[in-house]
Chain A
Amino acid sequence: MSLGTATNGDDEVAAFEFIKDTDRLRLGRGVVGITAFLVVWWAGAQLTTPSYLLPGPVVTAVAFVELFVQTTPVALPLLGDVAIPTGLFKLGQSLLHYIPGLLLGGVGGIALGVSMGWSRRLDDYLTPIVRILRPIPPLAWVVFAILWFGIHHTGAAFIVFVGSLWINFYGAYSGVEGVSTDYTEVASSLGVETDWQMIRLVILPAAAPSVLTAFRTSIGRCWMIVVGAELFGAPGVGYEIINASNNLAVDTSVAYMLVISLVYVGMDVSFRTFERRVLAWR
Chain B
Amino acid sequence: MALTDSTTESSHQRVTEAKIVVDGLSKRYDAHGGPVTALDDVNFQVGHGEFVCIVGPSGCGKTTLFRTIAGLESPTEGGIYVDDERVTDPGIDRGMVFQNYALFPWRTVRGNIRFGLDRPTCDCPNCEKRVQELINLVGLSGFEDAYPKELSGGMKQRVGIARALAVDPDVLLMDEPFGSLDPDTRDTLHAELLHIWRETSKTVLFVTHEVEEAVTLGDRVLVMAADPGRVSEVVDVSLDRPRQRTDIEFVEYVSEIRDSLGQ
Taking a contact as CB atoms under 8 Å apart, the answer to whether A280 and B147 are in contact is yes
Complex: chain B residue closest to A180, CB-CB: B102
Taking a contact as CB atoms under 8 Å apart, the answer to whether B149 and A190 are in contact is no
Q: Report whether over half of chain B's contact residues are helix, strand or loop; otherwise say mixed.
A: loop
Question: Does A281 have its Cβ within 8 Å of any Cβ on chain B?
Answer: yes
Q: List 9 A-B contacts (CB under 8 A).
A: A2-B143, A3-B151, A180-B102, A182-B102, A185-B70, A189-B70, A191-B122, A205-B104, A282-B105
CA distance A149 to B121 in the complex (A): 47
Contact of A197 among B72, B94, B108, B119 (CB under 8 A): B119
Question: Does A188 have its Cβ within 8 Å of any Cβ on chain B?
Answer: yes
Taking a contact as CB atoms under 8 Å apart, the answer to whether A189 and B91 are in contact is yes
Taking a contact as CB atoms under 8 Å apart, the answer to whether A1 and B147 are in contact is no
Complex: chain A residue closest to B111, CB-CB: A281
Please tell me the size bucket of the interface on A.
20 to 34
Please tell me the size bucket of the interface on B.
35 or more
Residues of A within 8 A of B102 (CB): 180, 182-183, 185-186
Residues of A within 8 A of B227 (CB): none
Question: Does A206 have its Cβ within 8 Å of any Cβ on chain B?
Answer: yes
Residues of B within 8 A of A208 (CB): 106
CA distance A4 to B108 in the complex (A): 13
Contact of A190 among B98, B115, B151 (CB under 8 A): B115
Residues of B within 8 A of A6 (CB): 142
Contact of A206 among B94, B106, B118, B167 (CB under 8 A): B106
Question: Does A265 have its Cβ within 8 Å of any Cβ on chain B?
Answer: no
Taking a contact as CB atoms under 8 Å apart, the answer to whether B72 and A191 are in contact is no
Residues of A within 8 A of B164 (CB): 189-190
CA distance A189 to B108 in the complex (A): 19
CA distance A197 to B120 in the complex (A): 9
Residues of A within 8 A of B145 (CB): 1-2
> What mask results when residues 153 to 189 of chain B are scored 1 for a CB within 8 Å of chain A, else 0?
0010000000110110000000000000000000000
Taking a contact as CB atoms under 8 Å apart, the answer to whether A2 and B150 are in contact is yes
Contact of B106 among A182, A192, A281 (CB under 8 A): A281
Taking a contact as CB atoms under 8 Å apart, the answer to whether A4 and B150 are in contact is yes
Residues of B within 8 A of A190 (CB): 92, 95, 115-116, 119, 163-164, 166-167
If A2-B150, A281-B106 touch, does A192 touch B119 (CB 8 Å cutoff)? yes
Residues of A within 8 A of B120 (CB): 197
Complex: chain B residue closest to A187, CB-CB: B115
**Additional 7 contacts, C-beta under 8 A, given A3-B152, A191-B116, A197-B119:** A182-B100, A182-B102, A186-B98, A189-B94, A189-B164, A191-B92, A191-B122
Give the top 3 A-B pairs by smallest Cβ distance, nearest first.
A190-B116, A182-B102, A188-B90
Question: Does B15 have its Cβ within 8 Å of any Cβ on chain A?
Answer: no
Complex: chain B residue closest to A1, CB-CB: B145
If A3-B151, A205-B106, A282-B149 touch, does A185 touch B119 (CB 8 Å cutoff)? no
Question: Does B96 have its Cβ within 8 Å of any Cβ on chain A?
Answer: yes
CA distance A192 to B71 in the complex (A): 14
Q: Nearest chain A CB to B54's CB is how many angstroms away?
A: 18
Taking a contact as CB atoms under 8 Å apart, the answer to whether A189 and B104 are in contact is no
Contact of B146 among A3, A188, A205 (CB under 8 A): A3
